[in-house]
Amino acid sequence: MSSLLGPVARLPVLRTFRQTVFFSSITTLFDKYLVSSRKVAKNKLKERGFPSNISTTASGFDLKDLQLLKVNFQPTPFKSDILPNVDDHQVQAFLTDLHEIIKNLHSDEGMEEAEIDMLVYNLLVQIVGLHRYPLRVRTHPRCRLYIASECYMTAKPEFVINRKNISMIVIEVCVFNWLWRSAEILACANEKMLHTAHQTGVILDQIIFAVRVVSTCFTFYKTIIPNGYWKELDYGLPQKESIIIKRWPEGVRPTSGLDIVESNGRQNVLEAFFKIRKHLLQ
């Protein structure tokens, strides 16, 4: 337990009264800390007989990294594998509100990334109500993945909502490098595990719901990361434990997700978000 909490205690602390340089100083200090920590992690992996060539950025994640970290994606035709089994009759009442947000969505073929971000943010906050206490939507939080007790990589998902040992992250991904979603899932789960362990002294299994957004198409993921996985990752790389990330709907192309421009797609997306919200609040 003390080893797993070590990364929290080792984070650098900066005190300054120069407000104009405060944020840039923290960023520079953290970048230097990350480079140093990553080097220590690589040395530990080599000394303990593990490969040390894991990508150091979420955007650089590839199949080799998934194999080393024992992460597998599993498509499923059953949305019940991803979504909690909760009935919610409020969904229909919000369809009109959602229609107001997206009715002009395809009027401009060159829709900017900022417009997609605002669309998703409005969906999470105004429609689904994920920014109401005790829930809170965090935008672009820095999430850290620790390997061999050292900070190895950081990731910044678009949005994160945490509650106890359950998290939901929303990822807007580049079509040409979709594997980085696994890095963001791991980093988000690692960050939440450390936070919970620091508060309670207990390492809990982490339940992660993830949503991939490509243009107006949504794909849902779910994984449960056992506490044994973190214990193995704290020493080096996982040997016995592994992770399966289930995906719904099961198509692999970005356009195979649920398109909120279409009526059925909108309803399925809303139902999914409301069910996940119910689960977060349990």
What does the pLDDT look like over 165-217, one tens digit per residue? 788 888 775 554 567 788 889 999 999 999 989 888 999 999 999 998 887 78
Q: Evaluate whether 230 touches 224 at the Cβ level (below 8 Å).
A: no
Alpha helix stretches (DSSP H) within the chain? 2-10, 22-47, 63-68, 91-102, 113-122, 180-200, 227-235, 263-281
More confident residue, 97 or 128: 128
CA distances from 151 to 63, 187, 244 (A): 21, 10, 23
Residue 199 CA to residue 95 CA, distance in Å, equals 39
Q: Which residue has the tokens 């509100």?
A: 97
- Residue 140: the pLDDT is 87
Residue 141 has pLDDT above 60, yes or no: yes
Phi, psi (deg, nearest 5) at residue 180: -70, -15
Residue 23 CA to residue 18 CA, distance in Å, equals 10
- Residue 3: the pLDDT is 58
> How many Å from the N-terminal Cα to the C-terminal Cα in the chain?
27
Task: Please indicate, yes or no, whether the overall pTM of this predicted structure exceeds 0.95.
Answer: no
Residue 134 CA to residue 22 CA, distance in Å, equals 30
Q: What's the chain's Rg over C-alpha atoms? A: 19
Phi, psi (deg, nearest 5) at residue 128: -85, -25
Type of residue at 220: F
Which residues make Cβ contacts (< 8 Å) with residue 246, sequence separation at least 6? 73, 74, 75, 76, 81, 82, 221, 222, 223
Domain count, the chain: 1
Residue 281 CA to residue 259 CA, distance in Å, equals 27
CA distances from 43 to 5, 50, 205 (A): 20, 10, 28
pLDDT tens per residue across span 234-259: 999 999 999 999 999 887 565 568 98
Could you list the residue range(s) of the whole structural domain that residue 211 is in?
2-281
| The two three-digit tokens of residue 269, written as one number | 């997306």
- Residue 17: the pLDDT is 37
